């Protein structure tokens, strides 16, 4: 049994609370007009729906911390890394909420993202795969800011970011529970986040009744950046191997967000456009241009990411010949990226 009975109970009542919270915001959004201020922003579907999924995500995050203190004490919470995690996730959520409500400039987002990366690195949460501290700090900064933007960019179609994030969190929960046990604070945080996302998926599945907004995507981005470092980059199983191994593991676990961001960035730079301006040129959109319905786009992308996350768990926990598994994982990741990029160059919007 990967999770104890107490953790299953925690997941169940957290999911129920999340479902009720999301339902409240769906119903009350019309009364309080809680919608994205920049309704002209590029998105596949209407921007006029409520965008407060992130409020429940963040509330459940705090609830998970409280539950951890109640069951296991506050000693581990007082560690520098955990305090930094709470701080970074809080400011990332607030930054996203400010953007939803006030339409803040891009420079403000980047400032908060780089500040978040600096706080995490200072606290000791950074990628540690090189002998050079400068190299470790640099790649950590790139990873944290990149993942926060990547998850935000991926949130362009119903259920995509939600479902892909669930696959990553499930993999993290499996690895954390096996390697570190049920008292690991990041396991509880990941389990609570998964519960809130599964509940949110009920309202976010196409046709969505609710979006997560930037407050949700920035919350998820900061959380996954941290979980990515703690679980996939710095996994203790790979400490005796080349730095190529953790790179391959992290890329495989985040294959869909990374492939989408890389595809969009390359194509926009080739067109001499800013990668950070919204558009209907994501891998999700190009799959739709092929004739796939939105729900099938979501199913395909979450299935691909789930397959790779499952293989990552196998490598970290069970593989005897890690070298061969890493080669297979790397080739698979390259195939996925090349396929999605090729589709982005060949599929075109249908003319009406």
| Bridge partners, residue 35, by sequence | 50
Condensed to tens digits (0 to 9), the pLDDT of residues 194-253 reads 999 999 999 999 898 889 999 999 999 999 999 999 999 998 766 667 788 899 999 999
Q: Judge residue 332's burial from the number of C-beta atoms within 10 Å of its C-beta, 0-12 exposed, 13-18 middle, 19 or more buried.
A: middle
pLDDT reported for residue 40 = 45
Q: Which residues are CB-contacts of 345 (< 8 A; sequence separation ≥ 6)?
A: 267
| DSSP for residue 233 | I
Specify the higher pLDDT residue, 323 or 90: 90
Contact between residue 205 and residue 53 where contact means Cβ atoms under 8 Å apart:
no
The reported pTM is 0.92
Q: Which residues are CB-contacts of 340 (< 8 A; sequence separation ≥ 6)?
A: 259, 260, 263, 283, 286
Q: Describe the crossing of helices 244-253 and 322-346 by its angle, rounded to 10 degrees.
A: 50
Contact between residue 262 and residue 255 where contact means Cβ atoms under 8 Å apart:
no
**Does residue 47 register a pLDDT over 80?**
no
d(C-alpha 313, C-alpha 315), whole Å: 5
Q: Which residues are CB-contacts of 109 (< 8 A; sequence separation ≥ 6)?
A: 95, 99, 218
């Amino acid at each position: 049994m990967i999770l104890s009975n107490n953790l299953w109970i925690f997941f169940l009542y957290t999911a129920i609370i999340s479902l009720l919270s999301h339902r409240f915001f769906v119903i009350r959004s019309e009364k309080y007009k809680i919608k994205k201020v920049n309704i002209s922003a590029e998105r596949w579907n209407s921007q006029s729906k409520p965008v407060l999924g992130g409020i429940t995500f963040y509330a459940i995050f705090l609830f998970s911390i409280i539950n951890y203190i109640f069951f296991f004490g506050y000693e581990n919470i007082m560690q520098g890394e955990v305090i930094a995690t709470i701080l970074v996730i809080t400011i990332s959520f607030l930054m996203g909420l400010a953007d939803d409500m006030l339409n803040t400039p891009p420079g403000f987002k980047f400032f908060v993202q780089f500040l978040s990366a600096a706080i995490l690195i200072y606290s000791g949460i950074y990628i540690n795969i090189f002998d050079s501290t400068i190299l470790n700090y640099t790649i950590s900064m790139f990873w944290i800011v990149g993942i926060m933007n990547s998850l935000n960019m991926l949130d362009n179609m119903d259920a995509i970011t939600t479902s892909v994030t669930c696959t990553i969190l499930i993999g993290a929960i499996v690895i954390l529970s096996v390697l570190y046990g049920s008292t690991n604070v990041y396991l509880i945080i990941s389990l609570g986040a998964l519960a809130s996302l599964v509940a949110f998926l009920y309202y976010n599945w196409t046709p969505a009744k609710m979006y997560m907004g930037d407050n949700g995507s920035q919350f998820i981005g900061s959380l996954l950046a941290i979980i990515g470092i703690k679980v996939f980059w710095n996994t203790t199983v790979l400490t005796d191997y080349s730095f190529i191994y953790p790179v391959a593991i992290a890329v495989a676990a985040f294959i869909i967000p990374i492939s989408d961001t890389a595809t969009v960035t390359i194509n926009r730079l080739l067109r001499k456009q800013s990668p950070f301006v919204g558009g209907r040129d994501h891998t999700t959109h190009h799959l739709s241009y092929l004739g796939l319905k939105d729900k099938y786009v979501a199913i395909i992308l979450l299935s691909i990411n789930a397959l790779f996350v499952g293989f990552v768990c196998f490598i970290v926990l069970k593989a005897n010949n890690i070298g061969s598994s890493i080669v297979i994982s790397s080739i698979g990741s390259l195939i996925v990226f090349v396929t999605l990029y090729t589709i982005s160059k060949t599929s075109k919007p249908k003319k009406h």
